[in-house]
Amino acid sequence: MIGGLVAAKVDPSIMSRLGLGRRTALVTGTNGKSTTTRMLAAALAGVAPVATQADGANMDAGIIATLSLTRGKPLAVLEVDELHVPHVAAALNPEVLVLLNLSRDQLDRVGEINIIERRLRAGIAEHPRLTVIANCDDVLVTSAAFDAPNVVWVAAGAGWVGDSVSCPRTGEPIIRSADGDWRSTGDNSFRRPAPDWWFDDENVYGPDGFTAPLNPAVPGRANRGNATQAVAAAVAMGADPALATQAVGTVGEIAGRYGVTTHGDHTVRMLLAKNPAGWQEALSMIDQDAPGLVIAVNGQVPDGEDLSWLWDVRFEAFESMQVIAAGERSADLGVRLLYAGVEHTTIPDPLRAIAACPPGRVEVLANYTAFRDLGTALERAAK
């Protein structure tokens, strides 16, 4: 990001100038930004050359560096941190904004999630020509997009609802039904919109009776929802829906996430999770038949130094697995696993934790800096 940092110091308006003449899509949300951005870029590749981040750098410096290095590409698909969306949108005047989901994340940096929802709502109001691709299953996302004149609603799923038990507009309870419908008890008009796009275990469905097989290369129901939003956004920018659906299925490993590597007599698959919603989804992807499971947690600034969210994650799902707690905050994790009734051992060094697992496949679930540092350690060990 150093190029972007320097460029912004030299010319504070450089982001606007680099965005002139480009059709731009912004992708934001608490979880799934990098995956969905990569999927949308792939889906738009058949329309025109696309500029996008290679490494997920989603704040000002990373966005400026990406635009600077890709001048001449008429389309831009940019992952944007939730806090940065309003001023990035003001600079780039995007054609499309993809809103994935909103939940609690790094309270010591981001703050309460309802504040983010209100900032996004205000930012969207500044761009009446913007097309918003919004997840209608997420109450907070729906609230942020609800008043926008151009919304494409996508039933992308909401596996985590712990941060939207009350209406973000009135504070009254949200009532949910077994079929996924929801409504506010304080405002009869604020309820789940009818989706324009949705998916099931086999297909994606869209306007005018569109149906196509949906086969993402990345695991998990959440990624089927991400793929559906990517297709909807691509179609809004002129892509053929059938070709866009095929293209999102070509996206596999994203910056090491879901990647498989060999380390000694272990085959290591790495999953990244950064907040309660992400952890809950990632835990559902764990292969419980694998001989080893390493869960690595750090508490550095990029992770959020407050790890009280560990108590919101349902680790009880691993009562039958042998787990190793690793990372700088392995002791905190170990206490949580103890109360969850999970049999485990504690080995702070993730590389040593992998080595302590039985030979064969090892599932590794790690938060941001633990994931990054272990990836670097595995690369060095392979040389």
- 302 contacts: CB under 8 Å, gap ≥ 6: 368, 369
The 3-state DSSP class for residue 77 equals strand
- Number of Cβ atoms within 10 Å of the Cβ of 55: 12
Give strand pairing partners of 176.
182
In angstroms, the CA 374 to CA 329 distance is 14
Query: For residue 307, what are its two tokens?
Result: 């790890």
Enumerate the H helices of 217-275 as residue ranges.
Answer: 221-236, 241-248
DSSP classification of residue 191: B
**Run of H or E including 271:** strand 266-272
105 among known catalytic residues? no
**What is the C-alpha separation between 267 and 287, in angstroms, rounded?**
13
Considering the candidates 108, 208, 306, 349, report the single residue annotated as catalytic: 306
- Give how far the C-alpha of residue 123 lies from the chain's centroid of Cα atoms, to the nearest Å: 20
Active site residues: 306
